[in-house]
Amino acid sequence: MQPFVYNSLPARVIFGPGTLSQVGREIQNLGCSKALVLTGPSQSKKGEALKEDLGDVCVGLYSNATMHTPTNITDEAVELAKNLGADCVVAIGGGSAVGLAKAIALRTDLPQIAIPTSYSGSEATAISGQTENGIKTTQKTLKVLPEVIIYDVDLTLTLPAQMTITSGINAMAHAVEALYSTESNPVTDTLAEQGLARLAGALPILSKDPQNSEARSDALFGAWACGSCLGAVSMALHHKLCHTLGGTFNLPHSETHTVVLPHTIAYNTPFATAAMTKAARVLGSASAAQGVFDLAKNLGAPYSLKQLGMKEEDLERAADVAMKSPYPNPAPLEREKILSLLRDAYEGKRPL
């Protein structure tokens, strides 16, 4: 066995159906009594219901969590938390709510409880992103890692089929990058393969039967496994491109990951053959890049940046932004090759 380094992350994970009922007890376990609930506009009803369930333990609700975590939204939420005297935050929703909780924790050190309702996987990482003046930046620090993650399978039953697919492929991107990361190791490799397998098996079922609780459970576990992988290693080209397209051009988060992933896999495969062979085997495909592309397209997910509203004339700028402050990557980063990757993703070409 080759030498390796593995950093485990300290987090309490509660997984299963109906686990939302344990939020109050977990707040008490943290030594807290004044929780601010965070959610986004589309999940506001879940936020209201949780606020009511918590009773006096909840001092307020902020329901304007926004995609890509704009700094002005964080400013508002931090000010509200201070005014209410909150001693912890509870995020319920997708990556936007979890991202906002992380941004608040980064500034205030307030403890977090994350209750994801999608498969973003952000809750399992110590990575925080924010967008300011059209540029999305990230940093890695244990200050933003939630103290508690509550995975309630029941909360994912109402996730629309289309969002289920794109959110699930977004989660798969975490595992793929972990496999070819410069910090890959046997622990994360095993977890990545398991996460990919669970999601690849569950998503076709959920595209036809969104209420299938067993497939929902598999997908949610897969999302946690994939997120945990990325939390233990470094991000690479795929996340850099998606952060560029989301933060600078405001493209939707999970859909962008879905479109870009096959092309970043193809870009890196010649320099990470063994890693991508593992991914291809799990996906039941001769090529990991084609396996992900076909999975997305066959399940009715978007497969081109054009479909997401990207303008062809902005591809050059996207390549320029992506080349600034690059993340470690197995394949050398060359502007013209990245521009070619973006053009293929724009057109929705099936990777060779």
Question: For residues 216 and 159, what is the distance between their CA atoms, to the nearest angstrom?
Answer: 10
DSSP state of 67: T
pLDDT at 139: 87
Give the SS3 label for residue 18: coil
pLDDT at 283: 95
pLDDT at 27: 98
> Which parts of the chain sit beneath pLDDT 50?
none
Distance set, CA 96 to CA 15, 62, 87, 109 (Å): 21, 12, 21, 19
Question: For residues 99 and 123, what is the distance between their CA atoms, to the nearest angstrom?
Answer: 8
Beta strands 127-132 and 135-140: pairing type? antiparallel
Residue 158's nearest CA partner among 116, 117, 203, 204 is 117
Tokens of 222: 């897969």
**Residues 37, 93 contacting (CB under 8 angstroms):** no
Token pair 């996340």 in the structure block, residue: 239
- Domain annotation for the chain: domains and CATH numbers: 12-156 (3.40.50.1970), 161-347 (1.20.1090.10)
DSSP letters for 232-281: HS---HHHHHHHHHHHHH---HHHHHHHHHHHHHHHHGGG-HHHHHHHHH
pLDDT at 8: 80
Question: For residues 169 and 2, what is the distance between their CA atoms, to the nearest angstrom?
Answer: 30
Question: For residues 123 and 261, what is the distance between their CA atoms, to the nearest angstrom?
Answer: 20
Taking only the tens place, the pLDDT of each residue in 293-317 is: 999 999 999 999 999 999 999 999 9
pLDDT at 6: 82
Taking only the tens place, the pLDDT of each residue in 313-330 is: 999 999 999 998 888 999
